Amino acid sequence: MPNKEINTILATDCGSTTTKAILIDKKNGEYRLTVRGEAPTTVEAPFEDVTRGVLNAIREVEELAGREILDGEKIIKPRMNEKRGVDIYISTSSAGGGLQMMVAGVVKTMTAESAARAALGAGAIVMETIASNDGRLTHEKIELIRRLRPDMILLSGGIDGGTVKHVVQLAEIIGAADPRPRFGTGYSLPVIYAGNKDAAEAVKENLINKTDLSIVDNLRPILERENLEPARHEIHDLFMEHVMAHAPGYKKLMNWTDTPIMPTPGAVGLLIKAIAEKQNIQVIGVDIGGATTDIFSVFKGIFNRTVSANLGMSYSVSNVLAEAGAENISRWIPFDVDRKNLRNRIKNKMIRPTTIPQTLKELQLEQAIAREALRLAFLQHKSMAVGLKGVQQERTISDAFSQEATGETLVDMMNLDLLVGSGGALSHAPRRNQAALMLIDGFLPEGVTRLAVDSIFMMPQLGVLSTIHEKAATEVFDKDCLIRLGTCIAPVGKGREKNLCLKVSIDNKTVEVNYNDMVLIPLGLGEKKEAVITPWKNFDIGAGKGKQLTVTLEGGIVGIIIDARGRPLELPKEDLKRIELLRKWNKALKIYPEPI
Amino acid sequence: MAHAYTPGLKVAARTVVRKERRLPLKGKVVANIGDMISANDIIATTSLPGEVVPLNLAGKLGIPPADVREYLLKKEGDEFEKDEILAQTKGMFGLFKTVIKTPIKGSLENVSEITGQLILRAPPKKVEIDAYIDGKVVDIIKDEGVVVETVATFVQGIFGIGGEAKGIIQKLVNKPADIITKDMIKSEHSGKILIGGSFIDSDSLKQAAKYGIKGIVVGGIDDEDLRNFLGYDIGVAITGSENIGVTLMITEGFGKMKMAQRTFDLLVSQEGKKASINGATQIRAGVLRPEIVIPRPGELAEAGKVESRGLEIGCPIRVIRDPDFGAIGKVKELPPELQQIETEASVRVLAVELEDGKQVLLPRANVEMIEE
C-alpha cells in the first residue's frame, strides 16, 4: 500500500469489554489523532457479533468528527473528501477474553497434575482435569469436554517410553467429544500434546483431523523430572495467536479490515519493543484489560511478553479476588469496607462487566483491584521472562507438587528506565496521578524510573498501524498517545517512620523526605532538571547503599514522585493505621478530589 | 459511550424454545420427528462396552494353561452374576476343592489355552439422554440426538449454579422483595422449583439440597453465602457442573436484590406447572446464562420483537451499578455531551426518574433497558 495515498486512517481495538475506534488524519503533512469513539463490545446476546460494537464505536467517531464513514454497515473506502470515507481500516482484537483450559493426563496425581501446573503457569484457568484413573466413565469424560467448551486442551501422559495405550485412549476420548470451541467460527480447537513421545504418532492419527494439534516435548519425560516450559510457552503462544482474538462475528470483521486482525498484545508489544530500541532503554509496558493483563518487558535487549489470561478488570475481576484474596485487595482501599460488601461488589462487576464506577468509593475500589491485577500479572511475567527457555526442573516424588520458577528472571527493577501503562483502568483513570500511583503500587519500581501512560488507550491500534504505516504510527504515538507522567524516585531498603530516608536537591533547593512518606514535586511536561539524590545509609537509589546519585529528572503531567515507603513495600496490617497512611499518601500526591 | 445495551437477558411469557439434545457417543435415536415428548423421556440411547477384567485362572488353580478348559464351569459367551462358581478343581475324594468365583457380573469373553488367562467383561453400560423439556421433536441429529421445540415461558438469569433439573413451580414468598429463610423450606417442597424474592442464604440452600428441592429462582445472594454453600470461591464465572443437589438461578445480582416485578409475576403466574431449569453460566465471549423453561403446549408464541433501537426518552431502565443498583426508572433525558460524574470522569450520561420519584443522573454504561 503506497503511503502517499493515505490521508485518513480508521483503527479499532475490540477488547473483551469495550471496543475503541480512533480516526487519524493527515494535516499539514503530519498525522494526528482526530477523534476517538467507543462502545461496549458485543459478544453477548442479543447480538453475539463483535462487528456490532465496532459499528457502534465507528458511529460515535462519525458523530464526533462530523464525517461519514459508514454506508449502512459498510465502511466507505477509499476517502472521497474531507467529509466522507477513510483510506484504510485496521483492527486488533482481544474480544475472546480469558483462557479456560482442560488438561488430561494418565495418572491424576502425576502427569495430570504436571499438566495442570503447566496450564496455570501460562496464566490459564484449569476448568477440569481428566485422568485415565479419575473414576469417570468414558462417556462422562466426553460429556464434560462438551459441556465445558474449553478454549484449549493440554494432553499429557506417560513418561517417555512408558504407557502408550492410556494416552491414546485419552486422545480417543478427546476425538470422540468432537470438541467445539466457544465460537464456531471456522477454527478448530487447539490441542497441545505434551506426553510420552512414543505415543505422539498415534495421538496425531486420532486428533490431527479433528483439532488444531500441536506436539511439544513431554512435560514429564521421566517420573522425577518435570519439563513444563515447552508446554507453557505453547499454551501462551496459541492463546495469544488463536484464541484471544476470536469472538462471535470475528470472520465478518476479518473481511472488513485491510490487514489481518492482530491480537491486541501482539500490537502493543510491537510499540513497547520499538520504544526500547529507539531510546536504547529498559522498558516495562502493561495493558490492563477486562479479561487479561498483558505485560511486556525489554531488558538487556531481550523482549518478553506475557498474557495473564485471567487477570482483568471486568470478566476476570472475580478471579483477581480469588487469586489475590480479599485481604490483599482491601489493603489498598482508603476506607473501611466490610468483606461481604466487597465480595458482592466484585461479583456484580463480573456479571455486568461493562458498567463503570459512579461514586468515588467505587472508583477507589476498582483501583485497588487494578493494583492487585497488575501485581499478580507482573509476578507471572517475572517468572516467565527468564533468559533460558526450557530449563528443566528436577523433581523428586516428594516435591513434585511444589511449584517453583525455573531460571532467573531478566526483570531488574533498579535498572528499569521507563514504565508505560495502558488499558482502561490506567488510561481512563480520571486523574493521571491515579494512574501513576497504580503503576507504582502494582510494579514497585526501584531507584529512578520514568512513568508514562497511553493517553486514551490507543496503543493497540497504533501497534498494528506501525506494521503498515510506520510514519503515521510514530507521529501519533509521540504527539497524541504517550503521556509522560513524570519520574518516580524510590529508594530500596527499610527504615523507621519519621527518620530521614533521602534528600533530593534540585536547583539548590533540597527536599528532605522521611521514611514512609510520599512527596510530589512539580516538574512540568518537557522539563528536565539535574538532581542530586542522597539516600540515608540503609537505602539504595541505584548507586549502592547510602551512595549519592546525580541524575536528570524528566517532568510530566504529574511531576516528580518521591516514594520513600521503602522496598519491599509493606503496608500496616492494622486497618486504622493503614487507612491513615493511604489517605496521607493520596493527599500528598493529589490522587483524589478531596482529602478522604 | 453513546450506546448502552442490555446483556440481553430474556424474560418472555410465550416464546419458542428450541433445545438440541445430543448423546456423548453415537448411538440410537429413539424419538421420531413430530413426536410429542416429555422432559424425562429418553430420546436417544447407546451402550458403552463393559470394562474388561482379566483373570489368570491357570495361576490361581496351579494348573498348566493348556488345561484351563477342563476346570471351567462356564463357556465363552456365558453370562453370570457376581460370585457364581466359574471354575473349580476336582479335589481329593471330592474334598479340598479350589473354587474360583466370578469377581464381577458379566460374561466370559475369551479363554486362552496359551496363557491360561480368562477375559471377563462387565455388562455394557447404558447411556441415555432425556428431552430436558416437554415439547415436540422437530429435528433428528443422526445417531446422536434430537432437537426439541416448544412454546414456553422462558426466563434467563444473570448467574446460576448446578445443572439441568425438572420440577413443579412453587411460589415461596409473596413479594419480590421478600427473602427466603431456612424455615420456609420444608420436606413437602421436595421435587419443586421454588420461586423466591430478593435473597437466599447458604443455610436455606443447604436445607433445600437436604430436602431434594430441584431448583430455586431468586433475585440475589451474597457471594459469601455462595462460597459457604459451594465450599470454594468462584473465580471465573463458569458453572453448571457443581454437584450440589439443587440448581440455583439468580435473576438480578449479588447482595439483596429485589427480583424484577415482571419476572416475579411471570414466574408466579406459572405456579403448579412443570418446568426445566439449568444453572449453567459462562460469562465470557460466547456467554451462557442460566434459564428456566416452563412449556406452554398448544399456546402460540408472541410475535417476535423488533430489535431494540437503543435508549430513548421514556424507556424503562434498570440501574445495574451502585449506588442505585437494582432501581427501576424511566429515561427522562439523554444529554449528548459528556458530563463529569462524582469520580471526575467525563462520561455520557442519562437523566432518570426512579420509581420512587427520585431524579438521578447516571452513566449510560450503568443502566440496562427493560424490554416491555
pLDDT (tens digit per residue) in A451-491: 999 998 899 999 999 999 988 998 999 899 999 999 999 99
Report CB contact under 8 Å: B233, A38: no
Closest to A94 measured CA to CA, from A40, A153, A13: A13
- Residues facing residue A22 across a β-bridge: A11, A36
Angle of helix A264-279 relative to helix A459-468, nearest 10 degrees, comes to 70
Interface of A with B in 537-596 (CB under 8 A): 593
Burial profile B263-289: b = 16 or more Cβ within 10 angstroms, e = fewer: bbebbbebeebbbbbbbbbbbbbbbbb
Most confident of A66-70, A105-109, A400-404, B296-300: A66-70
Same domain, A92 and A238: no
Question: Quick one: closest CA in B to A142, which residue?
Answer: B24
CATH number of the domain within which A78 lies: 3.30.420.40
Whether the pLDDT of residue B77 is over 60: the answer is yes
Distance CA B44, CA B145 (A): 6
| The predicted structure's pLDDT at residue A43 | 74
CATH number of the domain within which A148 lies: 3.40.50.2300
Instruction: State the smallest CA–CA distance between residue B15 and chain A in angstroms.
Output: 15
Q: A593-596 — which CB contacts under 8 Å span 24+ positions?
A: A593/A360, A593/B344, A596/A334, A596/A335, A596/A360
What percent of chain B has a predicted confidence (pLDDT) above 70? 93
Interface of B with A in 269-288 (CB under 8 A): 280, 282-287
Same domain, A187 and A167: yes
The answer for residues whose C-beta is within 8 angstroms of residue A343's C-beta and 6 or more apart is A321, A326, B222, B223, B224, B227, B254
Give mean pLDDT, residues B43-65.
85
Q: B36-40 — which CB contacts under 8 Å span 24+ positions?
A: B36/B135, B36/B136, B36/B297, B37/B131, B37/B134, B37/B135, B37/B136, B37/B137, B37/B148, B38/B131, B38/B134, B39/B130, B39/B131, B39/B132, B39/B133, B39/B134, B39/B166, B39/B274, B39/B276, B40/B130, B40/B131, B40/B166
For chain B, what is the radius of gyration of the CA atoms? Answer: 29
User: Strand, helix or coil at B296?
Assistant: coil
For chain A, what is the radius of gyration of the CA atoms? Answer: 25
- What's the pLDDT band for B306 if we cut at 50, 70, 90? very low
Distance CA A407, CA B332 (A): 61
For residue range B79-98, what is the model confidence (pLDDT) as tens digits? 999 999 999 887 776 667 78
For residue range B161-201, what is the model confidence (pLDDT) as tens digits? 999 999 999 999 999 999 999 999 999 999 999 999 999 99
Same domain, A231 and A282: no
Report CB contact under 8 Å: A318, B237: yes
> What amino acid is encoded at A337 in this protein?
V
Question: Quick one: closest CA in B to A182, which residue?
Answer: B286
Taking one residue from A and the other from B, the number of pairs with CB-CB distance under 8 angstroms is 197
- Residues facing residue B238 across a β-bridge: B282
Q: In the listed set A231, A256, A281, which residue is the last one of a domain according to the structure?
A: A256
Report CB contact under 8 Å: B343, A363: yes
Residues of chain B in contact with residue A247, where contact means CB-CB under 8 angstroms, are 285-286
- Which of B3, B308, B342 is facing A40, going by the closest CB pair? B3
Interface test with chain B among A133, A348, A365, by most B beta carbons within 10 Å = A348
Hey, is the C-beta of A434 within 8 angstroms of any chain B C-beta? Answer: no
More confident residue, A31 or A396: A31
- What's the pLDDT band for A406 if we cut at 50, 70, 90? very low
Hey, is the C-beta of A456 within 8 angstroms of any chain B C-beta? Answer: no
- Which of B3, B7, B283 is facing A315, going by the closest CB pair? B283
- Which of A176, A177, A358 is facing B342, going by the closest CB pair? A358
A234 with A214: CB under 8 angstroms? yes
| The predicted structure's pLDDT at residue A389 | 36
User: Strand, helix or coil at A329?
Assistant: helix
| The predicted structure's pLDDT at residue A501 | 96
Same domain, A70 and A132: no
Give mean pLDDT, residues B33-56.
87
Instruction: State the smallest CA–CA distance between residue A489 and chain B in angstroms.
Output: 27
Whether the pLDDT of residue B311 is over 90: the answer is no
Interface of A with B in 307-346 (CB under 8 A): 310, 315-316, 318-319, 321-323, 339-341, 343-346
Q: What is the number of other CB atoms lying within 10 angstroms of the CB of residue B108?
A: 20
Distance CA B222, CA B234 (A): 13
Hey, is the C-beta of A417 within 8 angstroms of any chain B C-beta? Answer: no
Interface test with chain A among B321, B349, B360, by most A beta carbons within 10 Å = B321
Same domain, A510 and A577: yes
Q: In the listed set A234, A256, A278, which residue is the last one of a domain according to the structure?
A: A256
Question: Span B316-369: which CATH code?
Answer: 2.30.30
Domain count, chain A: 3
User: Strand, helix or coil at A324?
Assistant: helix
What's the Cα-to-Cα distance from B367 to each of A355, A452, B347, B348, rounded to whole Å?
8, 33, 13, 12
User: Strand, helix or coil at B277?
Assistant: strand
Same domain, A429 and A529: yes
Residue A494 resides in a domain = yes
Can you give the residue range of the structural domain that contains A77?
Answer: 3-96+248-256
| The predicted structure's pLDDT at residue A46 | 61
CA neighbours closer than 13 Å in the CB half-sphere of residue B208: 28
Give mean pLDDT, residues B316-339.
88
Give mean pLDDT, residues A585-590.
96
pTM for the model stands at 0.82
Hey, is the C-beta of B52 within 8 angstroms of any chain A C-beta? Answer: no
A64 with A89: CB under 8 angstroms? no
Whether the pLDDT of residue A407 is over 70: the answer is no
| The predicted structure's pLDDT at residue B8 | 57
Give mean pLDDT, residues A89-118.
85
Residues of chain B in contact with residue A291, where contact means CB-CB under 8 angstroms, are 284
Helix (H), strand (E) at residue A274: helix A264-279
Distance CA A583, CA A591 (A): 9
Residues of chain B in contact with residue A127, where contact means CB-CB under 8 angstroms, are 238
Hey, is the C-beta of B28 within 8 angstroms of any chain A C-beta? Answer: no
Task: For domain B52-121, give the fold.
Answer: OB fold (Dihydrolipoamide Acetyltransferase, E2P) (2.40.50)
Residue A89 resides in a domain = yes
Helix (H), strand (E) at residue A509: strand A509-514
- What's the pLDDT band for A321 if we cut at 50, 70, 90? very high
Residue A593 resides in a domain = no
Report CB contact under 8 Å: A356, B345: yes
Same domain, A72 and A186: no
Terminal-residue alpha carbon distance, chain A: 55
Interface of A with B in 72-131 (CB under 8 A): 95-98, 100, 125, 127-128
Same domain, A301 and A437: yes
Runs of H (alpha helix) within B115-157: none
Instruction: State the smallest CA–CA distance between residue B350 and chain A in angstroms.
Output: 13
Report CB contact under 8 Å: B236, A316: yes
Instruction: State the smallest CA–CA distance between residue B371 and chain A in angstroms.
Output: 12
Distance CA B365, CA B368 (A): 8
What percent of chain A has a predicted confidence (pLDDT) above 90? 54
Instruction: State the smallest CA–CA distance between residue B356 and chain A in angstroms.
Output: 20
Residue A358 resides in a domain = no
More confident residue, B139 or B306: B139
Interface of A with B in 208-227 (CB under 8 A): none
Length of chain A: 596
Length of chain B: 372
State whether CATH 3.40.50.300 applies to domain B11-17+150-295. no
Residues of chain A in contact with residue B24, where contact means CB-CB under 8 angstroms, are 139-140, 142-143, 146, 176-177
Q: Looking at chain B, which residues constitute the CATH 3.50.30.10 domain(s)?
A: 11-17+150-295
Report CB contact under 8 Å: B343, A322: no
For residue range A164-205, what is the model confidence (pLDDT) as tens digits? 888 988 998 888 887 776 665 456 889 999 999 999 999 999
Same domain, A202 and A82: no
Hey, is the C-beta of A32 within 8 angstroms of any chain B C-beta? Answer: no
Residue A383 resides in a domain = no
Does a cis peptide bond (omega within 30 degrees of 0) precede residue B335?
no
Same domain, A43 and A153: no
Residues of chain A in contact with residue B365, where contact means CB-CB under 8 angstroms, are 40, 354-356
Least confident of A206-220, A502-516, A540-554, B88-102: B88-102
Terminal-residue alpha carbon distance, chain B: 24
Same domain, A30 and A142: no
Distance CA A186, CA A255 (A): 14
Beta strands in A396-440 (DSSP E): 418-422
Whether the pLDDT of residue B6 is over 50: the answer is no
Interface of A with B in 464-483 (CB under 8 A): none
Whether the pLDDT of residue A390 is over 50: the answer is no
Residue A197 resides in a domain = yes
For residue range B205-250, what is the model confidence (pLDDT) as tens digits? 999 999 999 999 999 999 999 999 999 888 778 888 888 899 999 9
Interface test with chain A among B343, B349, B352, B364, by most A beta carbons within 10 Å = B343
Distance CA A186, CA B226 (A): 37
Residues of chain B in contact with residue A97, where contact means CB-CB under 8 angstroms, are 284-285
Question: Quick one: closest CA in A to B362, which residue?
Answer: A358
A279 with A192: CB under 8 angstroms? no
Instruction: State the smallest CA–CA distance between residue B83 and chain A in angstroms.
Output: 23
User: Strand, helix or coil at A363?
Assistant: helix
Distance CA A288, CA A424 (A): 7
Interface test with chain A among B46, B200, B223, by most A beta carbons within 10 Å = B223
Q: Looking at chain B, which residues constitute the CATH 2.40.50 domain(s)?
A: 52-121
Angle of helix A339-351 relative to helix A360-384, nearest 10 degrees, comes to 80
Whether the pLDDT of residue B307 is over 70: the answer is no
Please state, rounded to an integer, the average pLDDT across all residues of chain A. Answer: 88
Query: Could you tell me the maximum CA-CA distance found in chain B, to the nearest angstrom?
Result: 106
What ipTM goes with this model?
0.82
Q: What is the number of other CB atoms lying within 10 angstroms of the CB of residue B56?
A: 14
Residue A407 resides in a domain = no
User: Strand, helix or coil at A40?
Assistant: strand
Q: What phi, psi does A25 have (nearest 5°)? A: -125, 150
Question: Quick one: closest CA in A to B5, which residue?
Answer: A40
Q: Looking at chain B, which residues constitute the CATH 2.30.30 domain(s)?
A: 316-369
Least confident of A204-213, A385-394, B128-137, B353-362: A385-394
Whether the pLDDT of residue B303 is over 70: the answer is no
Distance CA A298, CA A412 (A): 10
Give mean pLDDT, residues B26-51.
90
Instruction: State the smallest CA–CA distance between residue A56 and chain B in angstroms.
Output: 7
More confident residue, A374 or A105: A374
Residue A489 resides in a domain = yes
A332 with A582: CB under 8 angstroms? yes
**Which is it for the CA torsion B326, B8, A311, A155, positive or negative?**
positive
Interface of B with A in 55-84 (CB under 8 A): none
What percent of chain A has a predicted confidence (pLDDT) above 70? 93
Same domain, A523 and A446: yes
Give mean pLDDT, residues A239-253.
78
More confident residue, B296 or A137: B296
Residues of chain B in contact with residue A138, where contact means CB-CB under 8 angstroms, are 25, 48
Report CB contact under 8 Å: A147, B366: no
More confident residue, A97 or A354: A354
Distance CA A25, CA B141 (A): 53
Whether the pLDDT of residue A429 is over 60: the answer is yes
Residues of chain B in contact with residue A39, where contact means CB-CB under 8 angstroms, are 1-3
